[in-house]
Amino acid sequence: MKGTTPAGVSTEQEASRWVRDMFGRIAPRYDLANHVLSLNLDRRWRAKTVQRVSHILRRPGARALDLCCGTGDLLLALQAQSVESVLGSDFCHPMLTAAAAKIAHRGFRCPLFEADALALPLQDGSLDLITVAFGFRNLADYQAGLAEMRRVLKPEGVTAILEFSQPGDTAFGKLYGFYSRKVLPLIGGVLSGSRDAYSYLPESIEKFPSAEELAARMLAVGFRDVDFLRMTGGTVALHLGTK
């Protein structure tokens, strides 16, 4: 498996288009569904991510990009701690439109650009930090995604990948499995108006590499000091790596 494989999709191009169209459909209700389905824990996961990279954000001249920024929640949290303007990118126009409105509302100046994470319009070695929250799992090719992130980082640049993970075969894991397979698609479908988006979510999480495997893949593309932190019983993991 190179990357995400939504049901009924057979090529990388189709997977990429399926993901973009799906996020385009749910963009207006994405934030509400996110906060409700995660019981607001998504804010805490993003806050932890910001905390882990804040030493870079405080550095004068630091260039940071929030990849797959969606409606901008991590981008805003990063910007609140940053001395420089944080960039945001995503390949789904309606998500970027929602992010732009939130950035303007907060009075921030975060440049946004529309781009596929697998082909960023950035020079080699141009960033000090790349973050990606709940976007990496949706890439059509994980290896290519990691290599592209590494390409645009400066030497000593850091990447932080916040992503869903599998809690393992514990009592909590079983309860979470029931919630994500049965409850989440129902509530997510009602809140977002798109049942397939919230059936895709648990499927894509189950197919996604374990935290150990993602760490191994980061090392394989050349990141060093690779480490991960599990949160909320292992349902989410924050991976860090340095170029």
**Counting contacts by CB under 6 A, is residue 203 touching ligand SAM?**
no
**Counting contacts by CB under 6 A, is residue 142 touching ligand SAM?**
no
Q: How many residues touch ligand SAM (CB under 6 A)?
A: 22
Dihedrals φ, ψ of 240, to 5°?
-125, 145
Token pair listed for 137: 């799992």
Residue facing ligand SAM at closest CB distance:
70
Residue 107, class by beta-carbon neighbours within 10 Å (0-12 exposed, 13-18 middle, 19+ buried)?
exposed
Degrees, nearest 5: CA angle 91-152-69: 30
Token pair listed for 178: 């029931």
Among the listed ranges 48-56, 66-74, 166-174, 211-219, the one in contact with ligand SAM (CB under 6 A) is 66-74
Among the listed ranges 111-119, 164-172, 209-217, 231-239, the one in contact with ligand SAM (CB under 6 A) is 111-119
Q: Which residue among 33, 50, 98, 139 contacts ligand SAM (CB under 6 A)?
A: 139
Among the listed ranges 84-92, 151-159, 209-217, 223-231, the one in contact with ligand SAM (CB under 6 A) is 84-92
**Counting contacts by CB under 6 A, is residue 26 touching ligand SAM?**
no
Q: Are 198 and 179 in contact (CB under 8 A)?
A: no
Residue 31 amino acid letter: D
Q: Are 123 and 148 in contact (CB under 8 A)?
A: no
**Counting contacts by CB under 6 A, is residue 74 touching ligand SAM?**
yes
CB atoms within 10 A of CB 109: 10
Residue 228 amino acid letter: F
Among the listed ranges 52-60, 88-96, 219-227, 232-240, the one in contact with ligand SAM (CB under 6 A) is 88-96
Residue numbers at the binding site for ligand SAM (CB under 6 A): 16, 19-20, 23, 34, 68-70, 73-74, 90-92, 95, 116-118, 133-135, 138-139
